[in-house]
Structure 1
Amino acid sequence: MEYLYMEPIGLTDLEVLEVGTQACPPDMSFGPCVRDMYILHCVHSGYGTYTAGGRTETIGPGGLFLVLPDTVHAYRADPAEPWHYSWFGFAGTMAPRLVGQAGFAAPLPVRLPDPALPVEPLFRSVMSMRDQPAKELQLTGLLYRILGMLAEPDEGPPLSADAGHHVRKAISFMNARYADRLELEDMAEHVGLDAKYLCRLFRQRLSLSPYRYLTDLRMAKACRLLRRQLLCIAEISRSVGYQDPLHFSRMFKRTIGLSPTAYREKARRESTHDQEDGRQEQPADSSLR
């Protein structure tokens, strides 16, 4: 195992506290325990399991898993093909928002391999920076780059070029705070306008109310979480700003036209069908694995 601890340099938004890499022996385990920082792992080769929030996921090459602060977790290397991974340990006031935008959701913050997002080589470079000048800043910049590559685009109705400064500012606020209990007065206060005037601007610019925009945004986020098949309905409800799962289910069906359970099942069937089509298109004598 190689690791490097950083000297704090006073960054408050995001600061790397440690980096490391390890080729684990078979069945090597860590936890159950808690840590006081975020720790983002990327698997270079081999396999292992990650457990958090009462759930377990098997992760292989290119997969990522995130340890959340003060959350019980455990991970174990595969007995036959143990994994080799690298990691960033970090903290900061922007960390919760950045990891959320990067697609990591409790209770099991995992991202499976995505060939379109080649972040694994960036993790391989962490230890090469140990002797670089200002390595703390360089590693923090590298972490920003990784999280930026993983970040999913904001969802919701598209904005026209003439949406207006105050409307865009309100929408940025909703994109950052959609999981909280938001009232129209909160949005208006953030942009420095009267609530009724903000509503009028939304209707003029987007032909919908701020409340409808927020609902559409939350439903788009919920659809993404349902397609990932990781969280139960109640967990998704709370993740998109609804403390009452029944109210969330009613709003989802009213907006999307299906219940959350029906939408999830439809997405699962479509995913299975796409995978079967992909297998059928492969040549029978292909030597690629």
Structure 2
Amino acid sequence: MDNLCVFLDELLAWVTPLPQVPVTYAAEDRIPVNTARAPYLELGFHAEGDPADVSVADLSVRTEPGTVVALNAHFGNRGIAEGQWAYWCLSFAAPLSGSLVRFAAQPLLLAGAIPNPGRVRDHYAAVVRQFSRRQGCHEPRLKARVLLLLACLREELDPRNPGRAHGPRAVEAAVDVLHQRFADPELRLSDVAATVGLSRAHLCRLFQRERRESPMRLLARLRLERAAELLTRTHLDIGEIAFAVGYGDRLYFSRVFHRFAGCSPTEYRRRYPAG
């Protein structure tokens, strides 16, 4: 993370005084990336889709939605997702002098997780739109949008940024969402992540760090604990209880409840009858 922040600092220092920013490519790709050798420095953003492997020469990193990568194309680079993905890419013609020259000497591949991927995606989209227009005051507008993107990335990745210090608060907010909506059979991890303003991948990482469990494991536990309570305190039938705690399929509910309690819902009710 620190190396990625250093790279962004130097990129910002390089771009700021330039009258024109040498952008060679700016687009959203939804196909595998296979960049031939070229003197480019690139910033990629895995915005959505399945996990992917991004590589430069013998360097490789596993990315998920919400991951930003800094890489060079001097040795070629590749990005291949397990299925579908959306990968935003911004390429610069590498400078021939200055501190950034060292990033051309050997393969470069740095990665970091973005807490607020929607914000980053919007800035990438603004750069791509301006890059494709090439009319009017194109160059100053493009430079302005590139600087805004770089500043956004730097802020998102800065560990001192209050936006990154909200991990425990974000987890608490996500836990609240799960408590409030666990009975909703349509509730998905992406819904919870969007509600608290994080990517799915980043939310899962925070959950593991703060609670040592995944959001979906907590969701299942909340549902099954409530089901156990309903079994012992009400006379609802098994199907009604399954529906009440977010399971649309009675048979599936019975299987997961058995794994949770060590017996079927019917047997659990027999063992612990309502008082």
Where on the TM-score scale, by shorter chain, does this alignment land: which range?
0.3 to 0.5
Larger radius of gyration: 2
Larger RCO: Structure 1 or Structure 2 (Cα < 8 Å, ≥ 6 residues apart)? Answer: 2
TM-score (norm 2): 0.43
Higher fraction of helix: 2
